[in-house]
Chains A and B, each alone.
Chain A
Amino acid sequence: MAASHKITVEGAGEATCYEGERALVAMERAQGFGRLKNLPYRLPVGCRRGGCGVCRVRVTAGEFKADPMSRAHISEADEAAGLVLSCAIYPLSDIELRIEPPHFVKKAKTAATESQETA
């Protein structure tokens, strides 16, 4: 079996994350096995591909590599402060994290301002 790292989910429990696996996927499996038993709600899971923002966490310790994450949800400042989308990170060591779901209503750019970027 592939090498693995431990994800400690603050206040909830632990997950085993195999080499090359998304942290969120490991946490989903751990929830299925009852290993995140102190999580007071269902683990927020959306697209699993760094686009929707619902899986946001703050990494407080450990190393990981990351795929591109939607800047609508994680700014460069957020990222520098350890805020990431857990579906877009791949642990490289044991890591510790805190689940910090976003609030959904915020000032979004509209489609109109977007498409001007292409003109």
Chain B
Amino acid sequence: MAMTGVLRPGFAQVRVLDMEKSLDHYIKRIGMHHVTTGTDGRVYLKCGDEFDHHSLVLRKADHAGIDAFAFKVASEADLDSFEKRVIAYGYPVDHVAAGEQPGLGRRIGWTLSSGHRIELYAHADLSDPKPMIHNPDVWTVEPHGMGARRMDHCLLYGPDIEKTLDFFEKVLDFKCAERVDMPDGLLAIWMSCGMKAHDIAFVKHPEPGKLHHVSFELESWADVGHAGDIITRYDISVDIGPTRHGITRGQTIYFFDPSGNRCEVFAGGYTYYPDSPTRTWDETQIGKGIFYYERQLNAAFLSVVT
């Protein structure tokens, strides 16, 4: 399939209460690499299997949560055409100059009715470490910690997700891989811009702009087990897992960063094709959809967000 338009998740900018503890968490434990620290104190991190400059931005703030989630698009022309389409849909678009984040070109951004800021950009410098491209070894720098290979997706909580689904399908050309419908309406959506089961997901929630988790991909189920060992060894606050999601089929652990932002590491998940029918879940099986082995939601799933 030709990949055009929105290629993939680019970066998440997350607010943290304590930068030093957060760097230990994302670098030593999850296994990311420090790329650079900006003059305003924001810190730019990447995973070892990513080419682009960075995939996580940490900003020190007095409260936790997410500032923005950004996607990379294929070309500058795509950026211009998406800007027109977003405006035509009714969201005002603003511009962020190239270099506002080191290593990135110009960005466009807007706020969804769910309260979340989404950004698009077409250019990212490469940074080290990155995968080799000639006679490539499986990694350039030996994986450490949980060995996260990439920042993979996020799950956001906010109101009005019917409109968010409509917007991502009509304006950004995403497909809905899975959805949960409750007797009182749509509860959750998992949407893909490529061939992963999801690149972004939303759950209906009364308070706008909330973060449920940012997720990092690991190579295997064995790596998910190793991540579980690290979580206990370093007394990281765990939410649930190792377990599996029925939705997307990912093998997973949910845990918290030192500011209370939920992180996920996961492996697996099915391949999504753009002509795959949307998989649907109802109230009777939602527990199995979210946590396949426990077959029920834990108390934190619908209520604990930052």
Q: Do A and B bind each other?
A: yes
Question: Are the CB atoms of A47 and B63 closer together than 8 Å?
Answer: no
In the complex, A44 Cα to B303 Cα: how many Å? Answer: 10
Q: With CB as the reference atom, state the residue of chain B lying closest to A85.
A: B260
Please give, as numbers and ranges, the residues of chain B lying within 8 Å of A115 by CB-CB distance: 13, 67-68, 109, 117
The answer to whether the Cβ of B138 comes within 8 Å of any Cβ in the partner chain is: no
Please give, as numbers and ranges, the residues of chain B lying within 8 Å of A2 by CB-CB distance: none
Check A49/B256 contact, CB under 8 A, given A111-B68, A115-B67.
Answer: yes
From B27-35, B202-210, B282-290, the one touching the partner chain is B202-210
Question: Interface residue count for A (Cβ, 8 Å)?
Answer: 31
The answer to whether the Cβ of B111 comes within 8 Å of any Cβ in the partner chain is: yes
Please give, as numbers and ranges, the residues of chain B lying within 8 Å of A70 by CB-CB distance: 17, 62-64, 259-260, 306
Question: Are the CB atoms of B111 and A73 closer together than 8 Å?
Answer: no
The answer to whether the Cβ of B55 comes within 8 Å of any Cβ in the partner chain is: no
Check A111/B66 contact, CB under 8 A, given A47-B304, A119-B96.
Answer: yes
Check A47/B206 contact, CB under 8 A, given A111-B67, A115-B109.
Answer: no
Chain B stretch 266-306: residues in CB contact (< 8 A) with chain A: 299-300, 303-306
The answer to whether the Cβ of B237 comes within 8 Å of any Cβ in the partner chain is: yes
Question: Are the CB atoms of A114 and B65 closer together than 8 Å?
Answer: yes
Please give, as numbers and ranges, the residues of chain B lying within 8 Å of A54 by CB-CB distance: 303-304
Question: Are the CB atoms of A52 and B67 closer together than 8 Å?
Answer: no
Question: Are the CB atoms of A114 and B111 closer together than 8 Å?
Answer: no
Question: Are the CB atoms of B303 and A46 closer together than 8 Å?
Answer: yes
The answer to whether the Cβ of B131 comes within 8 Å of any Cβ in the partner chain is: no
The answer to whether the Cβ of A65 comes within 8 Å of any Cβ in the partner chain is: no
The answer to whether the Cβ of B18 comes within 8 Å of any Cβ in the partner chain is: yes
Question: Are the CB atoms of B303 and A71 closer together than 8 Å?
Answer: no
Q: Mark B87-131, 1 if CB is under 8 A from A, else 0.
A: 000000000100010000000010100011100000000000000
18 A-B pairs with CB atoms under 8 Å apart are A45-B299, A46-B304, A47-B256, A50-B17, A51-B17, A51-B64, A52-B305, A73-B63, A105-B206, A108-B207, A108-B209, A110-B115, A111-B68, A112-B111, A114-B67, A115-B13, A115-B109, A119-B100
Binding site for B on A (CB under 8 A): 42, 44-52, 54, 67-73, 104-106, 108-112, 114-115, 117-119
